[in-house]
């Protein structure tokens, strides 16, 4: 056996998997380089037509499979690929190349695809750059049909049970290509946590590591692997001891998952009696049942972009109202905080014909788009006001940088309420409007914003990105995206103080709230409302029930004075180590590396031990 090696990527879908590697790296050395005669051209066009039809049929099959396994919203990922192979301008260019240059259909399709990929990959528009993944996926499929290789297995051989698939770029199609019982995990050279394939892997609960740039060079089919989708670690040809430890992790993880599920309806109360409120982040309609099942006390962040993305026209007021009403009725006694459209950046709806932004994430997006498109914004506000008849619906504004944006939005709410009353439509007469604090400007103005708004909620994902000038979607910068950076800790404290001074509610809805160390920090700082992704609700609830608030408060005071992210991590790790079973560090739920040295010599309560309150 080859020597054991440890490779580091980005964990995008948690879990631990063991199994043989299956390298899926389609190559097309068989593309014909023969000159064609005029009599051959019709046959080549017919071949192209047949390959496109087979590709479309396969994409429709994958769409249906995804809908059955992950939900209708996730299945829409394939719509973009289907539209590409139906694009007449693209196909006309391929046919012209065949006829004018007398080359084969596969060569013509490959040439046009590569040219388009090069153009898109150099675009300043992030959404266009993201489309290169879809383009690569359909290129592989069409070329495969043209040369008679119609499935991934024909490039790689039939996968064994519990194989770990290694690819250059994981696509949504490949994510659902194999049965769940065959694929134990995915490893991809490219991609980030926010890519379509990563989202799909999480929905399917398949461990996945992305951004491992040397994967194809360092891993060969048949190599034995351990994949940790939480820490982003891949162990190649592990020792017997490492394999035994990984299997132990899997068993312990299953035990912990069962225990977490048993406690989903227990109060999130610390050892010393401090009660926290846990809400859920809602991205897609399919996650609603999961939020309810995991005991969410309302919705702290409901994203609404899915209502407009991938559509040929904007949703009507009635369509939006029905959806908001549906969610509100599931949480009749808890808040439902709905974020207004966070469009722009990498999320433009089809009806918009906006020119590309040189720097999309610093350009025309979020609240700026809403205020510049008042008809669209007011339609959403009208739907929200109508939904207030069915629950505590509140509106949150993304990417606010000044008071003017908040004041104009509040004026829109008043105008929409007056218009609904004049139209004789039953609706709420007013609606709480809050600010999602996710820019340094909003932090610096948090005192003024708190006095004017109804609530504040910190979005730590973008706040970290904008504060540290680190693109959170860039795999090369993953180790620099530090949510526990001292500047972020101090900003969190500043926002909390501003909200308390103004006597308004304040919460955290970013990924930091789902992180165990982040949870200790936020509890210690004084936050009492956290909003996390559905799958993290049981863990966060369980952790809070193990922690002493006083210890967390002392740790947060030290964290505020820290000079580096490592110092913040060390301080919070000490508290977590004092309250959490050391064995849980090996499950993949908790961050192993910062805590391993801290835990040496400490005795911990057993898994399943319950604190008496």
Where do runs of H (alpha helix) occur along 205-269?
215-218, 240-262
- Rounded Cα gap, residues 489 and 443, in angstroms: 12
Contact call for residues 201 and 14 (beta carbons, < 8 A):
no
Measured from the Cβ of residue 128, the count of other Cβ atoms closer than 10 Å reads 17
Give the Cα separation of 119 and 110 in Å (integer): 14
Which residue is catalytic, options 145, 196, 294, 485? 196
**What is the rounded CA–CA span in Å between residue 183 and residue 613?**
44
Q: For residues 159 and 167, what is the distance between their CA atoms, to the nearest angstrom?
A: 14
| Catalytic-role residue among 294, 390, 509, 579 | 509
- Distance CA(597)–CA(66), nearest Å, equals 42
- Quick one: pLDDT at residue 28? 56
**DSSP summary character for residue 165:** E
Q: Residue 287 burial by CB count (10 A; 0-12/13-18/19+): exposed, middle or buried?
A: buried
pLDDT at 349: 60
Res 248: pLDDT: 81
| C-beta neighbour count of 79 within 10 angstroms | 14
Which residue in 153, 234, 142 sits closest to 187, CA to CA? Answer: 234
For the chain, domain boundaries: 5-26+153-238, 38-148, 257-599
Extract the tokens encoding 613: 């309150």
Q: What angle do CA 571, 574, 577 make, to 5 degrees?
A: 150
Distance CA 303, CA 360 (A): 19
Measured between alpha carbons, how far is 241 from 232 in angstroms, rounded to an integer? 20
Distance (Å, whole) CA 264 – CA 262:
6
Give the CA count within 13 Å in the CB-facing half-sphere of 591: 19
From residue 275, give the alpha-carbon distance in Å to each of 266, 270, 278: 11, 6, 10
pTM as predicted: 0.70
Which stretches of the chain drop beneath a pLDDT of 50?
152-157, 585-586, 588, 590-613
Right CATH for 5-26+153-238 from 1.20.58.2240, 3.60.150.10, 3.50.30.10, 1.10.3720.10: 3.50.30.10
Q: For residue 64, give Cα distances in angstroms to 79, 466, 517, 545.
A: 11, 38, 39, 41
pLDDT digits (tens, 9 = 90+) for 337-393: 999 998 875 555 656 656 666 666 787 888 999 999 899 999 999 999 999 999 999
d(CA 385, CA 432): 10
- Please give the structure tokens belonging to residue 321: 């109202």
- CA separation for the pair 513, 523 (Å, rounded): 10
Name residue, tokens 């948090």: 446
Three-state secondary-structure class, residue 356:
coil
196 is catalytic: yes
Q: In this predicted structure, what is the pLDDT of residue 148?
A: 75
Provide the CATH topology of domain 38-148: Enzyme I; Chain A, domain 2 (1.10.274)
Q: Which residues contact 342 (CB under 8 A, 6 or more apart)?
A: 303, 304, 305, 365, 366, 398, 399
From residue 378, give the alpha-carbon distance in Å to each of 316, 419, 436, 452: 11, 10, 19, 20
3-state secondary structure 477-535: HHHHCCCCCHHHHHHHHHHHHHHHHHCCCEEECCHHHHCHHHHHHHHHHCCCEEEECHH
Answer CATH for 257-599 from 3.50.50.60, 3.60.9.10, 1.20.120.420, 3.20.20.60: 3.20.20.60
């Amino acid at each position: 056996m080859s020597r054991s090696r440890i490779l580091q990527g980005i964990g995008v879908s948690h879990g631990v998997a063991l199994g043989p590697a299956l390298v899926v790296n389609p190559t097309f050395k068989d593309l014909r380089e023969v000159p064609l005669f005029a009599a051959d051209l019709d046959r080549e066009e017919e071949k192209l037509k047949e390959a496109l039809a087979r590709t479309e049929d396969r994409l429709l099959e994958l769409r249906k499979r995804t809908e059955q396994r992950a939900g209708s919203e996730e299945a829409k990922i394939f719509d973009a690929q289907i539209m590409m192979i139906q694009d007449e301008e693209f196909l006309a260019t391929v046919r012209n190349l065949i006829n004018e240059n007398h080359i084969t259909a596969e060569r013509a399709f490959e040439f046009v695809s590569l040219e388009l990929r090069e153009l898109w990959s150099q675009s300043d528009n992030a959404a266009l750059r993201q489309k290169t993944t879809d383009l690569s996926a359909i290129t592989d499929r069409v070329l495969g049909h043209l040369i008679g290789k119609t499935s991934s297995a024909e490039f790689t051989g039939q996968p064994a049970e519990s194989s770990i698939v290694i690819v250059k770029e994981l696509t949504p199609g490949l994510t659902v290509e194999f049965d769940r019982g065959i694929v134990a995990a995915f490893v991809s050279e490219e991609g980030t946590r926010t890519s379509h394939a990563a989202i799909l892997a999480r929905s399917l609960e398949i461990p996945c590591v992305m951004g491992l740039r040397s994967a194809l060079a360092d891993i060969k089919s048949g190599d034995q692997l351990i994949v940790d989708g939480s820490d982003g670690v891949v162990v190649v040809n592990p020792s017997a001891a490492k394999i035994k430890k990984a299997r132990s992790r899997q068993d312990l993880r299953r035990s912990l998952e069962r225990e977490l599920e048993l406690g989903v309806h227990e109060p999130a109360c610390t050892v010393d009696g401090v009660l926290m409120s846990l809400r859920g982040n809602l991205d897609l309609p399919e996650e609603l049942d999961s939020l309810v099942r995991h005991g969410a006390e309302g919705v702290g962040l409901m994203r609404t972009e899915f209502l407009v993305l991938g559509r040929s026209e904007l949703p009507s007021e009635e369509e939006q109202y029905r959806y908001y009403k549906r969610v509100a009725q599931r949480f009749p006694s808890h808040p439902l905080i709905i974020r207004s459209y966070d469009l722009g950046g990498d999320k433009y709806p089809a009806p918009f014909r906006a020119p590309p932004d040189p720097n999309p994430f610093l350009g025309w997006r979020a609240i700026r788009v809403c205020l510049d498109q008042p008809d669209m914004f007011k339609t959403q506000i009208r739907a929200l006001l109508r939904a207030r008849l069915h629950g505590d619906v509140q509106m949150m504004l993304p990417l606010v940088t000044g008071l003017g944006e908040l004041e104009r939005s509040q004026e829109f709410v008043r105008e929409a309420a007056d218009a609904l009353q004049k139209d004789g439509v039953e609706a709420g007469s007013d609606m709480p409007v809050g600010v999602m604090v996710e820019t340094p400007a909003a932090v610096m103005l948090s005192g003024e914003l708190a006095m004017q708004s109804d609530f504040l909620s910190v979005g730590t994902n973008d706040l970290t990105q904008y504060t540290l000038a680190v693109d959170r979607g860039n795999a090369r910068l993953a180790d620099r995206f530090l949510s526990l950076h001292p500047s972020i800790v101090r900003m969190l404290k500043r926002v909390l103080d501003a909200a308390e001074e103004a006597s308004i509610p304040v919460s955290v809805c970013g990924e930091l709230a789902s992180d165990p160390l982040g949870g200790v920090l936020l509890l210690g700082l004084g936050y009492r409302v956290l909003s996390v992704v559905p799958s993290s609700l049981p863990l966060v609830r369980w952790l809070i029930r193990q922690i002493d608030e006083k210890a967390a408060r002392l740790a947060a005071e030290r964290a505020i004075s820290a000079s580096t992210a490592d110092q913040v991590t060390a301080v919070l790790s000490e508290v977590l180590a004092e309250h959490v079973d050391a064995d849980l560090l090996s499950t993949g739920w908790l961050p192993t590396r910062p805590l391993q040295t801290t835990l040496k010599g400490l005795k911990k309560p057993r898994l399943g031990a319950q604190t008496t309150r």
